[in-house]
Amino acid sequence: MPIIQAFWAIIRRDLLLAFRRRAEMANPLFFFVLVVTLFPLAVGAQPNLLKAMAPGVIWVSALLAALLSLDGLFRSDFEDGSLEQMLLSPHALSILVLGKIVAHWLVTGLPLLLVAPLLAVFLGLPEQAMGTLWLTLILATPLLSLIGAIGVALTVGLRRGGMLLSLLVLPLYVPVLIFASGAVDRAASGLPVGAQLNILLAMLLSALVLVPLPTAAALKMSVN
Amino acid sequence: MSWIPAPVSRFFHRTSSPPHFYALADRFIPWLTVIFLLLLGAGLYGGLYLAPTDYQQGDSYRIIYIHVPAAWMSLFIYVLMAVMGGIALIWRMKLAEVMLISSAPIGAGFTFVALVTGSLWGKPMWGTWWVWDARLTSELILLFLYLGVISLYGAIEEKRAAARAVSILALVGVVNIPIIHYSVQWWNTLHQGPTVSKMDKPSIHVSMLVPLLLMAVAFKFYYLVAVLQAAKLELLKRETTSQWVKALLEKQA
């Protein structure tokens, strides 16, 4: 089986598995909506305040939702032994890992794209920032899955890796958060956002190339 | 690696073996300590006594002699850890793993010192302990990177596997350091934060600069002493069953 076919097979398998557990699949999405709705309750419902906070609130919630969903990336494969089979397969592990990351993004990152604009409207984000919000979500949610994959691969062999995972992954998420929420913030005040979007794109492209290698190395280490 | 002269490569092979390194560290630590103390004394004397009082900040600027070298060390040690991580992953060198692990708590300590002294300096200068400013925030994130390395190493039972995991993390984290450093600056320029760029001022007087550089070198030597001590302990812990440790214990008994 050529490597491209193996890559698609991994994606198809992971999507199929996700659709078999539909309730679980929706969890990150519900979590995202819940966290966003907590903010107006906690800081008060003044429209001006919410409007100013909207980019940050949406992005922090997206970050937490991504973090929550990360553990599923390799955990079940590790537990039922299919991860070992992937390691033993003749294909390059980094490509298979990339397939798993793509599937993870399709299941957990993509739904955020559909809900985030709705929440942004509720928070009073100005109309002209909607396009930018979408673009940052398209560019940066895959980044969250990619960067998170390294952290999961490092901690998948540990029984209680959850807290450790957030300690490892959140500092690495900081640049994504800064550029994504910064771009939306600027768009809301009518400033150009080309630089931020370009940097996000550059980070996404380099992460696509670079992340599978350390992730594969970390998985090999975790499975031993 | 035939392009490296034989004596040099022999030297590296020998020092990278744990018993040789242990003996070598034992021999060097007293000397390094002496150099550290001399530099520290000279730096503190120059900084706290000889250097003039700043016309703007008064005497409270003198915390610079601890604060700035500590901040430099915090970045320097992380980069060094990434280099060690690369060596440990590529050549599977035990000594690089040991040095990487032993460096992490020291680096975290320097980062903590830089944060605390900065906060102490900030109170009289800006009237606040903490600002969400570029440098401060990136330093705090650096502290979390260090803590991540330390707790990941602690969480994995098998120490060689743990060292490999930590090497990967250190390498990934080092990519993040310049991004964090500059991104927070760009992010802050949007929000028009307080201007703090004290070290960007090129015109620092020689009588203040010399003690600062002395302190920076003194901190480097402190790091060497501390990391060699920590590495010795780590080596003993890892190789409790090996012959050279037994011989060492018998000699001391």
Q: Note the ipTM here.
A: 0.86
Q: CA distances (Å), B9 to each of B92, B147, B200, B210, B245, in order?
A: 16, 35, 41, 37, 25
- A101-111: per-residue pLDDT in tens? 999 999 988 88
Cβ-contact B167, B88 below 8 angstroms: yes
For the segment A27-37, the average pLDDT, to the nearest whole number, is 90
- Give the span between the Cα atoms of B23 and A217, in whole angstroms: 34
pLDDT of B1 reads: 52
* Burial degree of A147 (CB within 10 A; 0-12, 13-18, 19+): buried
pLDDT of B202 reads: 47
Tell me the pLDDT of chain A averaged across its residues. 89
Asked if A52 is an interface residue toward chain B (Cβ–Cβ < 8 A), one would say no
Asked if A194 is an interface residue toward chain B (Cβ–Cβ < 8 A), one would say no
pLDDT band for position B2 (50/70/90)?
A: low
For the segment B181-205, the average pLDDT, to the nearest whole number, is 54
- Which long-range contacts link A11-16 to residues 24+ away (Cβ below 8 Å)? A11/A99, A11/A102, A11/A103, A11/A106, A14/A99, A14/A100, A14/A103, A14/A104, A14/A107, A15/A103, A15/A106, A15/A107
Residue B253 is classified by DSSP as: -
Q: What's the first-to-final CA gap in chain A, in angstroms? A: 26
Q: Which two tokens stand for residue B93?
A: 């060198």
Angle at B226 between CA B222 and CA B228, to 5 degrees: 120
Judge whether residue A144 has pLDDT over 90: yes
Distance from CA of A167 to the nearest CA of B (A): 6
- Give the span between the Cα atoms of B77 and B146, in whole angstroms: 10
Q: Which two tokens stand for residue A136?
A: 């940052």
Asked if A170 is an interface residue toward chain B (Cβ–Cβ < 8 A), one would say yes
Judge whether residue B253 has pLDDT over 80: no
Cβ-contact B57, B125 below 8 angstroms: yes
pLDDT band for position B187 (50/70/90)?
A: low
- B237-248: per-residue pLDDT in tens? 888 888 888 888
Cβ-contact A10, A103 below 8 angstroms: yes
Tokens 């944060």 found at: B115
Select the residue from B90, B176, B187, B189 to test the A interface by mutation, using most A Cβ atoms within 10 A.
B187
Q: List the single residue in A154, A171, A182 with the smallest CB-CB distance to B187.
A: A182
pLDDT of B190 reads: 45
pLDDT of B53 reads: 72
pLDDT of B188 reads: 56
pLDDT of A214 reads: 92
Judge whether residue A133 has pLDDT over 70: yes
Stretch among B3-12, B49-58, B201-210 having the lowest mean pLDDT? B201-210
Residue B240, helix vs strand vs coil: coil
Q: Which two tokens stand for residue B55?
A: 């016309």
CA neighbor of A168 nearest in space, from A192, A199, A147 = A147
- A90-103: per-residue pLDDT in tens? 888 899 999 999 99
**Amino acid identity at B14:** R
Cβ-contact B85, B166 below 8 angstroms: yes
Global pTM reads 0.87
Q: CA distances (Å), A18 to each of A63, A114, A150, B209, in order?
A: 21, 18, 21, 61
pLDDT of A163 reads: 84
Residue B53 is classified by DSSP as: P
Judge whether residue B192 has pLDDT over 60: no
Please give the share of chain B, as a percent, with pLDDT higher than 90: 32
- B26-43: per-residue pLDDT in tens? 888 999 999 999 999 998
- Give the span between the Cα atoms of A89 and A223, in whole angstroms: 14
- B218-229: per-residue pLDDT in tens? 999 999 999 999
A143 contacts in chain B (CB < 8 Å): none
Judge whether residue A135 has pLDDT over 80: yes
pLDDT of A72 reads: 82
Judge whether residue B191 has pLDDT over 50: no
Q: Which helix (H) or strand (E) holds B121?
A: helix B94-126
A185 contacts in chain B (CB < 8 Å): 190
Judge whether residue B155 has pLDDT over 60: yes
pLDDT band for position B165 (50/70/90)?
A: very high
pLDDT of B195 reads: 40
Residues 6+ apart with CB under 8 A from B23: none
Judge whether residue B77 has pLDDT over 90: yes
Q: Which residue in chain A is spatially nearest to B86 when comparing CA positions?
A: A214
- Give the span between the Cα atoms of A11 and A145, in whole angstroms: 14
pLDDT of B85 reads: 93
